[in-house]
Structure 1
């Protein structure tokens, strides 16, 4: 009987649904509505007295009425929990639910019952077929809703703390999302979006500093560029037993900047023969060993103002850095520099050397004394030859940027004769190594560079700035070609194996030949060089952006800084300035005409560390 009765009710409701009577209560989308009139379309009244004409299929009958006004749908008090417990797990209708929960089926109780169904916790379905959910489902849903509500409250509280720049310790895991955007590891941040900020690395950087997740001076650029941030943690083998020529009787000098931590080259003079000793790194780093693959994956040391990230474990430098031990193993390049500056009588050997470490500043005061006067004479002959062969000397501003006890120290690098002398000695060793390998048929990566498109000589700063842009980057090739910028017909990098992979690769090839072993093939050399060169792109970019970062921090902390800018170019209504004191480039809008190489007094404008931008204003 009960089943037959329910079927009759369903049929009646379906008739009403097809043609709901005037003054009936219907559901329009999720809102209650009263049927006002029936024609081709049904006119309904919504909350607020608004009328709307809709199709019959757009509404669903909840109660046949009469409903004179939607204001009659007042909240109802009933036995809701008891009704659910009685019906748990079964199916019912809206009418039965209303009568069971509220002891009456009126428009008001029908709407109250429907709201219970629409809530979706204890009941689900449509007016004609309502399911009473089981206790297990209800309890699970209650737990999920409680969890969602708690999460929403937690999220709102977190955003309030972020807006006040007072995050709690438990917020750290959330801020990792912002950090990933700041480091270029993702493109989106729900947190920045919720705070109303554009989702950019700069905004993420700024937010992390504001809330104290990052320190005020935090440098994100090594990680953002994909550069390594820790030294390799690999075991270092012992130095092998092998024959070495004893050159400890020669005075050898490792000349570098004060505080240099990886001395990998030194100079000796033996009569007319110049020796360039280089740390014998390849003695410990075998081809395709774990250490070699790690060095190849890095490409070079990462030199940051705040620290150095080494290409090789620090133990390698401790053992092989020239002058760090009483006697050091070296790969020594001996040669003579002829009267016309040509390199001749080349010799390469494994050696023992005794090295004294000196700074450029110290040697600068001793250039007129032995042995530096003779070394300088040799270097000058070599430089004259390079100049005659088209070498380009661009004397653009250079500075040393260091972080000392948390303070940024920027020191211009003077044009020291001692520095030029050592540079030419290293270039001589590079040419000697290249010629030796070419003569012996040893495949190595030659450093080559085509001539610039503009061959005009640069004699002033603006011309040097323009000429630098004419050069293409140095590239590595197993084919021996010239290096136009250096003015050398043949050259390879061979004097910095502690800090640059291509130099280590040259040493490994030479040592293989010296030991009677087969060097790597030319194809393998290019493969290894290509891998390291790709890796070093991240290193160079990380260094460049890090230097810019710390320079901006220096200007931020010195808002009254004033200095000189030299006009080196023009762009629309702006001029390009080089700031020698900072080795920094700036673009400044000018009203009056200015000339190239004109000097302008500047003051700091706005500094945006997060966006890596600075503005300057012209004084006077």
Structure 2
């Protein structure tokens, strides 16, 4: 069509960037009017002449609605141009008809080609494209409706699949969210968290931290062997019958995995430990699962175990009338030194006590004697430089939607059990050293300076000097914090893989079999350490989250804090009742260890932050 190639004249209809335009003046550059009344100066190659006009306004080119099928049928197997298509569609070649024909060609459904040479498309292509366009239109409509609901802070059941992209970002498992971008929000985990809570996808108190760090989401569902099968393993020693000794598993009330108990037999003390290695053989499916998890995950919401719960029910001390155990026996001299170490697979009869119940019986035998010896052992550790920090600790639990925060009291029974477990760890370490059994030793480097602070501010500052504990296989290193030259964790094989690994080595020795090599132990301990890091991070962040939930549910909260660090115009304050550190501004000068009254200002769960002000 030569008319389409001619220099447009004033008043003619042209196409500019796929939209209609009216020529106002034609020269070296062409002045055009576009929709909305704006004018532009463009080059001739930037426009396409559609109709010579003249038109006085773009409002004149509103063609009526027509269905293109009749024109498509008339053009079957032929080629034509835009002018004839306009006449077939509208019965005329007016500016409006020309624009309508251009739109039909541009949409690419019924016709294809150029304005000078266009043709009808094949029916199967039309039907395919029409179905795709209808589906896209429905998807666009659904998308728009979803965004509108989200702006109104509501969702429907079918929206959950769409919001998974937002949840991935909130859980640090993705970097972008089309939804957040469309709503004009920053594509950040904080924005994602706020949206999911605002629309009800997450509860207002949702804890995202276990998922964020990649912690296990449920208990392992694996089959466990029977004790009868374990007893039939070649070389399995007969169990030492210690059922005549009163044995006590002392733990927090409600504890569901008791894996240690204590006994006294004359001048010999026993620490009995759940015999998990009797059923969890090295490289078994149970072993690999526990190794990957590293440890039990203790959340305020509940416990996620590293081993099947059925195994705990079978081996937990005191959960059956008689319990299989790995028993560590030792004697303690007047200076608190350990000697005469024995380790046996055993059978024990265990009574379970809470710390409160044990405290009430601490003046009675045999607990009174055990407590006395535990105190002697503690004195030896302190003499050897053990660090003793008496900073507040709390237990955080979620019970029927209520956050319960209770102080962890350092009672006599708790101190006794702590020392007995440390004795067992030192005894196991020395036993394995004497027999050249490779095990993971727990060590901690000495800080740059050694102190014995007595104030809360001093203890917080001292704790910041501590270096992380490390695992060494082969020769033990000193554990500064405990004041011990040789120590291994050996009393919680139901809860920690490192303890289970020590038990597997001890059992191999007791059977007369070949223990794992130092290289194998090091590799397995390293794998478990990675899982343990994830577990500890999930626990720490989850406890902090639920403390903030507790505060958010008490907007009028007031309490007391202790100044533990001073900065310019700010102070770090430790709230003993919550074991929570926070920074505050104060108008008046503050001093270290000063007790200050605090009032809650704000809690932001998405940011994991809270603010307090100093009262008065």
TM-score normalised by length of structure 2: 0.94
- For 2:383 and 2:169, the matched residues in 1 are separated by 51
2:305 corresponds to 1:310: yes
User: Which one of 257, 262, 273 corresponds to residue 262 of structure 1?
Assistant: 257
- For 1:292 and 1:49, the matched residues in 2 are separated by 76
Deviation of 1:599 (Å): 0.3
Deviation of 1:67 (Å): 5.3
C-alpha spacing 1:295/1:142, structure 2 compared with 1 (3 Å)? same
Deviation of 1:77 (Å): 7.2
- For 1:415 and 1:190, the matched residues in 2 are separated by 51
User: Which one of 48, 53, 72 corresponds to residue 84 of structure 1?
Assistant: 72
- For 1:376 and 1:99, the matched residues in 2 are separated by 106
C-alpha spacing 1:257/1:22, structure 2 compared with 1 (3 Å)? closer
2:179 corresponds to 1:183: no
Q: Does structure 2 retain, via aligned residues, the 8 Å contact 1:302–1:539?
A: yes
Q: Point out the more displaced range, 568-577 or 43-52.
A: 43-52
2:190 corresponds to 1:202: yes
- In the alignment, what sits opposite 1:96? 84
Q: Does structure 1 retain, via aligned residues, the 8 Å contact 2:425–2:490?
A: yes
Gaps of 5+ in 2: none
Please show how residues 585-604 of structure 1 align to structure 2 within 5 Å.
585-604=581-600
Deviation of 1:80 (Å): 4.2
- For 1:79 and 1:141, the matched residues in 2 are separated by 16
- In the alignment, what sits opposite 2:213? 225
In structure 2, the residue corresponding to 1:180 is in which secondary structure? helix
- In the alignment, what sits opposite 1:484? 480
Q: Does structure 2 retain, via aligned residues, the 8 Å contact 1:79–1:102?
A: no
User: Which one of 354, 373, 396 corresponds to residue 401 of structure 1?
Assistant: 396
Which digits, 9 at most, give the CA deviation of each residue in 1:287-309, with x for residues without a partner?
A: 00000000000000000112111
In structure 1, the residue corresponding to 2:368 is in which secondary structure? helix
Q: Does structure 2 retain, via aligned residues, the 8 Å contact 1:297–1:532?
A: yes
Deviation of 1:98 (Å): 2.2
- For 1:50 and 1:607, the matched residues in 2 are separated by 51
- In the alignment, what sits opposite 1:386? 381
TM-score normalised by length of structure 1: 0.94
Q: Does structure 1 retain, via aligned residues, the 8 Å contact 2:9–2:52?
A: yes
Q: Point out the more displaced range, 60-69 or 534-543.
A: 60-69
Which digits, 9 at most, give the CA deviation of each residue in 1:384-432, with x for residues without a partner?
A: 1111111001111011111222211111111212111111111111000
C-alpha spacing 1:177/1:341, structure 2 compared with 1 (3 Å)? same
User: Which one of 337, 348, 352 corresponds to residue 357 of structure 1?
Assistant: 352
Q: Point out the more displaced range, 31-40 or 309-318.
A: 31-40
2:523 corresponds to 1:527: yes
Q: Does structure 1 retain, via aligned residues, the 8 Å contact 2:388–2:452?
A: no
In structure 1, the residue corresponding to 2:582 is in which secondary structure? strand
Deviation of 1:114 (Å): 1.7
2:361 corresponds to 1:366: yes
User: Which one of 530, 548, 551 corresponds to residue 547 of structure 2?
Assistant: 551
2:212 corresponds to 1:216: no
C-alpha spacing 1:165/1:89, structure 2 compared with 1 (3 Å)? farther
Deviation of 1:35 (Å): 4.6
- For 1:71 and 1:560, the matched residues in 2 are separated by 63
Deviation of 1:322 (Å): 0.9
Q: CA RMSD in A?
A: 2.0
In structure 2, the residue corresponding to 1:409 is in which secondary structure? strand
- For 1:522 and 1:78, the matched residues in 2 are separated by 84
- In the alignment, what sits opposite 1:606? 602
Deviation of 1:604 (Å): 1.5
C-alpha spacing 1:403/1:69, structure 2 compared with 1 (3 Å)? closer
- In the alignment, what sits opposite 1:105? 93
2:505 corresponds to 1:509: yes
User: Which one of 41, 47, 68 corresponds to residue 59 of structure 1?
Assistant: 47
Which digits, 9 at most, give the CA deviation of each residue in 1:210-261, with x for residues without a partner?
A: 3222233322221121111211100010112241111111111111111111
Q: Does structure 1 retain, via aligned residues, the 8 Å contact 2:295–2:497?
A: yes
2:469 corresponds to 1:474: yes
Q: Point out the more displaced range, 378-387 or 39-48.
A: 39-48
- For 2:363 and 2:11, the matched residues in 1 are separated by 113
- In the alignment, what sits opposite 1:4? none
2:432 corresponds to 1:444: no
- For 2:98 and 2:615, the matched residues in 1 are separated by 79
Question: Number of matched residues?
Answer: 608
C-alpha spacing 1:123/1:504, structure 2 compared with 1 (3 Å)? same
- In the alignment, what sits opposite 1:156? 144
Q: Does structure 2 retain, via aligned residues, the 8 Å contact 1:334–1:347?
A: yes
- For 2:398 and 2:225, the matched residues in 1 are separated by 33
- For 1:367 and 1:79, the matched residues in 2 are separated by 95
Which digits, 9 at most, give the CA deviation of each residue in 1:361-380, with x for residues without a partner?
A: 12222322211221122112
Q: Point out the more displaced range, 497-506 or 450-459.
A: 450-459
Deviation of 1:337 (Å): 1.1
C-alpha spacing 1:591/1:17, structure 2 compared with 1 (3 Å)? same
C-alpha spacing 1:547/1:82, structure 2 compared with 1 (3 Å)? same
